[in-house]
A and B are shown apart, each in its own frame.
Chain A
Amino acid sequence: MTGGALGITLTAGLLVGCGPGDGGPEDVRFTFSKREAIPYMTQVVDDYNASQDAVRVELDTSGVDVVSASFVRGNPPDLMLANYNHEVARFVDRCTLTDLGDTRAASRIRPDLQPLMDQYGRCEGRTSALPYSVMAASVIYNKEIFAEHHLEVPQTWSELIEVADTLEQAGETPFYGTFKDDWTVAQGWFDYAVGGQVDTLDFFDRLAAEGADVGPRSAVSFEKDLAGPLEQMTQLAGYVNDDAASRGYGDGNLAFAQGGAAMYLQGPWAFSEIAKTAPDLELGTFPLPMTEDPADLKVRVNVDLAAIVPEGSHHQDAARDFLEYLYRPEVIEGYNESQLGYTPTADAPPPSDPRLAGMTDYYDDGKVYQGASVLVPKTIPVMPYTQGIAFGEDVDDVMRTLDEDWARLARRQ
């Protein structure tokens, strides 16, 4: 804290030296655009501003496109909490973000999360971004329907098929599919199926190493490594509601809330939507078993929010002071508790919501993976491709197309 405080006094002194000389607080522009959490973050900012008078934080809720444009114009925000994806990773890759490795916040982050951050992009020698909120996603299941048919949470692929068969024979719909929205196929069906048995970290590393050579003769390819899991995914897609092809995300939440199916391949963000219709529905979560070994079970995670401080900011120390405030245990844990996220600091308790309990052990043991669909560069239309598979396109054909797209992109970049 002394370091931060010293920084503040120094910058404040500089401001007095060259500014108009009113000695007022230093303004920090903080961008945050996760809609559901804006009320919480507004409160955090107000509390911080009231707690001291050296720095005044201004909350900017304009979305990521505006932020990208501000980087191009050389006028980026001073501090960002942003969804960590390929878009933000572009700033990391091009080393336009400052090193946060020396902050107290950085020292408290769980080290096993670093590979997940590096997977998107890296600037050698720098900790360009710090995770703030990690979302874990897996199969959501209706506990009431499971109890009614005396079903246990499946731990292996054959148990899963057994559960699905039992449900189907009992006249229940095992899975609710919302294939009309391609992203639901990609983040649920595709990612869970692949992540349940392929090590996505290793797979994409080897894929990147092959680069333009990815194809029928390369050692690693989408066709070779993913076709198997996706055949299993197609098998599971046979257990969905008849009208899955014309149902979207909103339809799915409604139907699932009304007991329209026993299992739903969605993330925790769907809970609040389901609760709008059925606030008391008992729901649970479990990782999709894809193999016969319960030790292979893993949950899909994504770094829902990461903190970054752009090099272009003129308020480095003030931004870092607020950053440390954001990582205070009561602030960061309070945030994640309210948003059903996992706090990435080493000592933090898991969110207490019982609906997430089925994933907590896996998260604590580091049995996590990032979704394959978000690790493919966005310029390759992987979401429509996975939707094509759900609609019955040949898995091998689609995987070959992915291989070709990957190689073509590598050749060009």
Chain B
Amino acid sequence: MSTLTTATPGVAAPDAARRAPRGARRTEPIYYLFLLPSLVLFTLAIPVPALVGIFFSFTNSVGIGDWNFIGLTNYAVAFRDPAIWQSYLFTFGFALVTVLVVNVAAFLLAVGLTSRIRLKVGLRAVYVIPMVVSGIIIAYVFSYLFSNSLPAAGEALGIPFLSTSLLANPDLAWVAIVLVTAWQAVPGTLLIYIAGLLAIPGDVYEAAEIDGATPAQRLTRITLPLVAGYVVINVILGFKNFLNAYDIIVGLTNGGPGTATRSIAMTIITGFNGGDYAYQMANATIFFVVTVLIAFLQLSVTRGRNAL
């Protein structure tokens, strides 16, 4: 078993081998030229607007006309704004639950779709379809299902719980959002898990089988440890995406009922539509800092495990 674990990070090993001789040679200048267009575009599209936005978060600008510096006022007010607190609480709770749901579902599906079953290829295609449909369309379709089809079914079957729309329940609307987000996010995660599972050499399983390992033992003792790196990737990517939750919520509940499902991104957007530009820029800056901190946390937790 121990020999296996050292040999398994098959992805990382050849990478390190390739890296070794690179320092010896001088880098061709042409490579920098290749980088230039995307670097320029990236700078113009992301860091420059971000810096402008951070600048304005220290002003009282409404987007047009004159403005003044007001120091940290926006930040001071934002930290005491219950609407902002609520949106952070909702978004982080939502992201945590969704990451869990998506990864469990995708992993189980991936195990199923890589085992010896009929119609494997066709099924894989079916499960990947949600990935190519735009979020807002998915949200509108599900909104119809939750508001009309499910209640109709609930009424016909005499299940009172189903006969009122999930979306109209302030305490449970988030469950609907988790379900729909997961439905869309599972395929991407699933693909990564399938790739991870296919990378596990078959002889490992053969050896385990000869040693008398049960299927459950094979799953927990071999499969899971060997795809651990992929779990980390999926969790990090997923969490990052779910923190930015926007389109599906807009289509499903538009933040409602009341303000029960307003995400951070939705709160920030109101600053542009509502003439509260500088204040929500401060909120966006706080959000940025928070996500950077999370990124560092995730990196430090996963570093040194050959995960990334």
State the A residues within 8 Å of B (CB): 68, 71-72, 86-87, 90-91, 94, 96, 179-180, 182, 243, 245-248, 377-381, 384-385, 387-388, 391, 393, 398, 401, 404-405, 408-409, 411-413
Contacts and interface: CB of A to CB of B under 8 A. Distances in A.
B275 A71 contact: no
Given A246-B147, A379-B271, A393-B258, A180 B82 contact: no
B64 A243 contact: no
A53 to B, nearest CB: 35
Contacts of A182: 254, 256
B167 A180 contact: yes
Contacts of B275: 86-87, 90, 377-379
Contact of A96 (B64, B151, B255): B64
B247 interface: no
A379 B258 contact: no
A161 B151 CA distance: 30
Interface stretch (B49-57, B73-81, B103-111, B288-296): B73-81
A391 to B, nearest CB: 5
B212 interface: no
A412 B74 contact: yes
B91 interface: no
6 contacts: A86-B274, A90-B64, A245-B165, A245-B257, A378-B273, A387-B257
Interface of B: 60, 62-66, 73-74, 77, 80-83, 146-148, 151, 164-165, 167-168, 170, 254-259, 262, 270-271, 273-276, 279
A381 B259 contact: yes
Contacts of A385: 258-259
B63 A72 contact: yes
B147 A391 contact: no
A410 B60 CA distance: 12
A96 B146 contact: no
Given A377-B275, A378-B274, A246 B164 contact: yes
B63 A68 contact: yes
Given A90-B62, A180-B167, A379 B274 contact: yes
A246 B148 contact: yes
Given A379-B274, A385-B259, A68 B279 contact: no
Interface centre among A68, A398, A412 (most CB of B within 10 A): A412
B255 to A, nearest CB: 6
A103 to B, nearest CB: 24
Given A180-B168, A246-B146, A377-B275, 14 more contacts: A86-B275, A243-B151, A378-B276, A381-B255, A381-B262, A384-B255, A384-B257, A384-B258, A387-B258, A391-B170, A393-B258, A405-B83, A411-B77, A412-B73
Secondary structure dominating the interface of A: helix
B270 A378 contact: yes
Contacts of A384: 254-259, 262
A409 B258 CA distance: 20
A329 to B, nearest CB: 35
Contact of A391 (B82, B254, B257, B279): B257
A391 B258 contact: yes
A274 B97 CA distance: 42
A72 B62 CA distance: 11
A121 to B, nearest CB: 11
B139 to A, nearest CB: 13
A73 B74 CA distance: 25
B81 A245 contact: no
Nearest to A378: B274
Nearest to B167: A246
Of the listed residues B65, B66, B80, the one surrounded by the most CB atoms of chain A closer than 10 A to its CB is B65
A381 to B, nearest CB: 6
Contacts of B81: 408
A245 B172 CA distance: 14
A72 to B, nearest CB: 5
B274 A377 contact: yes
B151 A246 contact: yes
Contact of A94 (B65, B77, B80): B65
A71 B63 CA distance: 10
Contacts of A71: 64
List of 4 A-B pairs having minimum Cβ-Cβ separation, nearest first: A388-B258, A245-B168, A246-B165, A378-B274
Contacts of A411: 77
Contacts of B65: 90, 94, 96
Nearest to A89: B275
A86 B64 CA distance: 13
B140 to A, nearest CB: 11
Contacts of B270: 378-379, 381
Contacts of A68: 63-64
Contacts of B73: 412
Contacts of B168: 179-180, 245-246, 391
Contacts of B273: 378
A338 B256 CA distance: 35
A247 B259 CA distance: 18
Nearest to B275: A90
Contacts of A391: 168, 170, 257-258
B83 A180 contact: no
B276 A379 contact: yes
Contact of A245 (B60, B77, B164, B279): B164
B63 A413 contact: no
B257 A413 contact: no
Contacts of A413: 60
A313 B148 CA distance: 50
A245 B276 CA distance: 30
Contacts of A243: 151, 164-165
Nearest to B150: A246
A342 to B, nearest CB: 28
B14 to A, nearest CB: 51
A391 B255 CA distance: 14
